[in-house]
Amino acid sequence: MAMSYNSKDEVDGGPPCAPGGAAKNRRPDNTAFKQQRLPAWQPILTAGTVLPTFFIIGLIFIPIGIGIFVTSNNIREIEIDYTGIDPSSPCNKCLSRNVTPCICTINFTLEQSFEGNVFMYYGLSNFYQNHRRYVKSRDDSQLNGDPTALLNPSKECEPYRRNEDKPIAPCGAIANSMFNDTTKPVNWVNPVYLLDSDQDNNGFINEDFIVWMRTAALPTFRKLYRIIERKSDLHPTLPAGDYFLNIKYNYPVHSFDGRKRMILSTISWMGGKNPFLGIAYITTGSISFLLGVVLLVINHKYRNSSNTADITI
């Protein structure tokens, strides 16, 4: 028996099906979601809603930025570069000696007293701890004390994985390059149990080692070394005056044009000295307030012109 074909059948329910079969329907379900009938809200941006937003952001951000900036400037901080490139640097004589380590003395003066706890950092410049291969060059299982990883370090640690067929622990480029102007190992020629000079040696659980293994995101960074705690509320932690710092100069940085620094700093409720955050708030608030003023003038000028044109028409 002949059958007729109607294009409407293909639109509504697809091609015709065999007699007695279920009709196929590709039409979406009649729901609010599939038929796009969900309630929606579209804000209408008018001068009455936009302009107050700009002014409110400006009035909030500017005072916050000023407060953060003033707080940051009140933090006491001194930074001493002792790389030794400058001929006048006391550590410059260490570069011409073959004796390692060389001890040099840095004299410095605190113009103002340091109140509260004082944080001592060492800083490095042009040292890229964020390099992909450098970041991966470690074995976390080994650091967690896994006996298997201690005897067979990860291949990611190459070329600091084995030394004369003996496993290196801790392995990898991060551990091998640990900053050591103030600690014992020089490229880990000494075993890990000599990392800590304290009698209560704790091996891998060494604070200096843990801090170093937390790789920095930028090539110029500082890492906490010690905390000088305040012992009396009647006297400052570090009174103003002359001080000296003895440094065991044995960490090479000239091969990559690096710099070494020692930093003493106090902190506040917002952390260490960081004027950028306050400047960012002040800049954002000022730009927002300025845009509000400009848009207010434009709106006032062209709104009157628009009303005049409507009356004329």
The Cα 193–Cα 206 span in angstroms is 10
Same domain, 258 and 278: no
Q: pLDDT higher for 238 or 164?
A: 238
Average pLDDT over residues 51-71: 93
Tens-place pLDDT, residues 25-37: 788 888 988 888 8
The Cα 101–Cα 95 span in angstroms is 10
Residue 159 is predicted with a pLDDT of 87
Residue 22 is predicted with a pLDDT of 62
Residues 130, 251 contacting (CB under 8 angstroms): no
Domain span at residue 55?
A: 47-75+273-302
Query: What's the mean pLDDT when you consider all of the chain?
Result: 81
Residue 106 is predicted with a pLDDT of 86
Is 148 domain-assigned?
Answer: yes
Q: Is the pLDDT of residue 298 over 80?
A: yes
Same domain, 51 and 86: no
Residue 1 is predicted with a pLDDT of 46
Q: Whole-prediction pTM value?
A: 0.70
Residue 200 is predicted with a pLDDT of 65
Same domain, 54 and 82: no
* Residue 159: cis peptide before it, omega within 30 degrees of 0: yes
Q: Is the pLDDT of residue 282 over 50?
A: yes
Q: pLDDT higher for 57 or 49?
A: 57
Is 10 domain-assigned?
Answer: no
Average pLDDT over residues 237-251: 87
Same domain, 243 and 262: yes
DSSP state of 221: E
Average pLDDT over residues 81-95: 71
Helix (H, G, I), strand (E, B) or coil at 94: helix
Q: Is the pLDDT of residue 291 over 80?
A: yes
Distances (CA, A) of 223 to 52, 179, 218, 273: 44, 10, 12, 14
In this prediction, what percent of the chain has a pLDDT beyond 70?
Answer: 78
Residue 98 is predicted with a pLDDT of 54
CA-wise closest residue to 177 among 218, 116, 140, 131 = 131
Same domain, 207 and 65: no
The Cα 284–Cα 309 span in angstroms is 37
Average pLDDT over residues 235-263: 87
Q: Is the pLDDT of residue 184 over 80?
A: no
Q: Is the pLDDT of residue 194 over 80?
A: no
Residues 265, 77 contacting (CB under 8 angstroms): yes
**Domain total in the chain:** 3
Residue 120 is predicted with a pLDDT of 93
CA-wise closest residue to 246 among 111, 107, 88, 79 = 107
Q: Is the pLDDT of residue 5 over 50?
A: no
Sheet holding 221-228, edge to edge: 77-81, 259-265, 118-125, 221-228
Is 15 domain-assigned?
Answer: no
- Other beta carbons within 10 angstroms of residue 13's beta carbon come to 14
Residue 64 is predicted with a pLDDT of 95
What is the pLDDT confidence band of residue 10, given thresholds at 50, 70 and 90?
Answer: very low
Same domain, 173 and 239: no
Average pLDDT over residues 123-131: 93
Same domain, 112 and 233: yes
Tens-place pLDDT, residues 198-241: 666 667 778 888 899 999 999 999 999 999 898 888 888 899 99
Residues 249, 97 contacting (CB under 8 angstroms): no
Rounded (10°) angle between helices 275-312 and 47-73: 160
Q: What are 251's two structure tokens?
A: 């960490």
Same domain, 160 and 55: no
Distances (CA, A) of 51 to 284, 286, 301: 15, 14, 15
Same domain, 254 and 125: yes
Q: Is the pLDDT of residue 265 over 80?
A: yes
Q: pLDDT higher for 290 or 309?
A: 290
CA-wise closest residue to 205 among 248, 139, 258, 143 = 143
